[in-house]
Amino acid sequence: MRNKQLLHSMFYPEQFAKKRHVIHKLTDRFAKFGYQQVETPVFENYDLYNDVQGTVNTTDMLKLIDPSGEVLVLRPDATIPITRHYTNLQNLETPGRLSYVLDIFRSTAEERSRTQAGVELFGERTPEADAELIALAVTSLNEIKIPSFKIEIGHATFYKELLHEANLNAIQQKQLDQYIQSKNISEIVPFLKELNLDPDLIKKLRKIPMLYGDTSMVIKEAENIISTDRMREELDYLSDVYQLLQDYHIESYISINLGLINHMNYYSGIIFQGFAEGLGQPIMMGGRYDYLTHTFQQQTPAIGFAFEVDLLANLLYEMPEKTEVIELLYESAERERAFILAEQLRVFNKKIITRAAGESGSDLKAPNIFVKSKKSIYSNQKEQREFKTDQELLEWFLRKDVEKCNL
């Protein structure tokens, strides 16, 4: 039992202010690219996730049983319910652009829940759509001023095309994925030899983990291992996306890694991950999932990504802007006037706490406004000002704001 421990850092107002800032910037950015925000239910049917194979590990889901005996799960992912929702729409809008900010629940994570902000683009399978999403991700990270980051682009099926004739079983496939994604070249070759694979195929497979870095170099190297028409198409597609990214002027944020593997099995084309300097885990993940809609009797290509909001919030060292809270004290006879003044100040976006003044003046906390009969006094650590009317005080505040804006 971890009783009473404060596991959640968002308990602290400064911390939460950063998180809110990140969410605000992201949703604003998503909206500017034409994405409409939606919400999915917290409680989902267990079968929804059980039916879509190879997505969320069933043991990772937090389950509960409702009074009728039905098994529910706490939303372990946003993409699947949003896809189901989209395919259920009567009048499909194509392309469909949806975004979300939702808590995701998993039993494996230390905190059990984390906030993801992401987008899904339905109905388009073009390099333009893929590049748009990557550009959206890059500009979003710039918007929240993440100092140094990279987006790593890979492909979910490119290397798997090579394995069509190899007939690996599930355990062998998993082991090979593990070697490839950890770039463990010294163990890949003995492993493949033991499987009695064709020497030419082994030669190609051992190159996969090394296909990373400079894009034009990687694409040239990848030409050498192409063995099917499908691989040719996918590589040309990838190269088209890269050219689009150059026109977005964001190629300096991009790194190619054809050994990238995502454990979400529904990915079918380009996949990508975002990394920030000094943070071990990805801050963003996404990719193309053209066949997920088939689960819901639709054939709509789709692509999406999700940011890890809590990680992004922790990357912000200081709050971009912190406005002070002003305490407004009043003598009991001036209470009504004080409440009106407080509300007028709030109209100017001031943060006001009202409080009856005590007997002595010793309970004054700067900054404050003291409402007395026929006058009010503003004071902070540096200065003190007296105003004959409330109007005077309001005008002074307004002037101060204008000056600040002009600075």
Which residues of the shown chain bind other proteins in the complex (CB under 8 A)? 148-150, 152, 182-187, 189, 213, 255, 257, 275-282
Closer CB to other proteins, residue 182 or residue 224?
Answer: 182
Q: Which pairs with CB-CB distance under 8 Å and at least 24 residues apart come from 191-200?
A: 195/166, 195/168, 197/166, 198/165
Q: How far is the CB of 151 from other proteins (least distance, A)?
A: 8
Q: How far is the CB of 265 from other proteins (least distance, A)?
A: 18
- Residue 244 in contact with residue 131, Cβ under 8 Å? yes
Q: How far is the CB of 182 from other proteins (least distance, A)?
A: 5
Q: How far is the CB of 326 from other proteins (least distance, A)?
A: 40
Closer CB to other proteins, residue 20 or residue 183?
Answer: 183
Q: How far is the CB of 35 from other proteins (least distance, A)?
A: 26
Number of CB atoms found within 10 A of residue 245's CB: 23
Cα 368 to Cα 381: distance, rounded to the nearest angstrom: 10
3-class SS letters over 164-188: HHCCCCHHHHHHHHHHHHCCCHHHH
Cα 271 to Cα 49: distance, rounded to the nearest angstrom: 21
Q: How far is the CB of 156 from other proteins (least distance, A)?
A: 17
Tokens of 130: 């893929």
Cα 112 to Cα 104: distance, rounded to the nearest angstrom: 8
Closer CB to other proteins, residue 149 or residue 266?
Answer: 149
Closer CB to other proteins, residue 57 or residue 182?
Answer: 182
Strands 36-37 and 96-105, by their bridges, are parallel
- Residue 102 in contact with residue 80, Cβ under 8 Å? no
Closer CB to other proteins, residue 213 or residue 358?
Answer: 213
Cβ burial, residue 225 (10 Å; 0-12/13-18/19+): buried
Contacts of 46 (CB under 8 A, 6+ apart): 61, 63, 70, 71, 72, 73
The string of DSSP letters for 267-287 reads: --SEEEEEEETT-SS-SEEEE
Closer CB to other proteins, residue 214 or residue 395?
Answer: 214
User: What are the helix (H) ranges across 11-152?
Assistant: 13-32, 46-51, 79-88, 127-143
Closer CB to other proteins, residue 192 or residue 302?
Answer: 192
Closer CB to other proteins, residue 250 or residue 292?
Answer: 250
Q: How far is the CB of 62 from other proteins (least distance, A)?
A: 22
Q: How far is the CB of 130 from other proteins (least distance, A)?
A: 19
- Residue 128 in contact with residue 118, Cβ under 8 Å? no
Q: How far is the CB of 189 from other proteins (least distance, A)?
A: 7
Scored b (16 or more CB within 10 A) or e, 252-269 reads: ebbbbbbbbbbebebbbb
Closer CB to other proteins, residue 13 or residue 278?
Answer: 278
Q: Which pairs with CB-CB distance under 8 Å and at least 24 residues apart come from 190-196?
A: 195/166, 195/168
